[in-house]
């Protein structure tokens, strides 16, 4: 996966604003109590993935959450009230484990 182009970024921001305006104008429309917006670095080596998440963490002023020892993810997140922006790196070992379990489910 790659990051958004400049045009895709503008479109995303406009869409988020449109959603907020829509929910504000329609109080009868159910709204979630929170929302997560996630960005994933391009699939590369684990070292490059960590470097990308480290760079994003510096840009958003966040600490790193490293759960890779337990086959988890490498993340940096920042909250804006109930909205969370999260950069997520999925190590190769975790991706392989997930892909293996998915292929077993499909072959059953």
Per-residue pLDDT tens over the stretch 56-79: 999 999 999 999 988 889 999 999
**pLDDT classification of 43: cutoffs 50, 70, 90:** confident
Q: What is the pLDDT of residues 11-29, one digit of tens each?
A: 999 999 999 999 999 999 9
Q: Into how many domains does the chain fold?
A: 2
Residues 26 and 49 in one domain: no
Degrees to nearest 5, angle at CA 35 with 29 and 36 = 150
In eight-state DSSP terms, residue 28 is T
Structure tokens at 79: 């909250």
- The reply to whether 55 and 100 lie within a common domain is yes
pLDDT reported for residue 106: 57
Q: Tell whether 59 and 86 lie within a shared domain.
A: yes
What is the C-alpha to C-alpha distance for residues 67 and 88, in angstroms, rounded to an integer? 11
Query: What is the domain extent for residue 66?
Result: 34-107
70 & 88 share domain: yes
- Residues 26, 40: one domain? no
Global pTM?
0.80
Q: Do 62 and 39 lie in a common domain?
A: yes
> CB-side exposure of 58: number of CA atoms within 13 Å?
5
């Amino acid at each position: 996966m790659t990051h958004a182009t400049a045009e895709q970024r503008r479109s995303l921001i406009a869409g988020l604003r449109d959603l907020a305006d829509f929910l504000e104008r329609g109080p009868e429309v159910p709204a979630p109590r929170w929302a997560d917006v996630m960005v994933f670095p391009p699939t590369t080596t684990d070292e490059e993935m960590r470097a990308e998440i480290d760079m994003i963490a510096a840009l958003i002023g966040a600490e790193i959450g490293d759960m890779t020892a337990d086959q988890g993810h490498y993340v940096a997140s920042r909250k804006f009230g109930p909205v969370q922006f999260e950069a997520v790196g999925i190590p190769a070992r975790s991706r392989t484990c997930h892909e293996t379990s998915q292929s077993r489910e499909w072959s059953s």
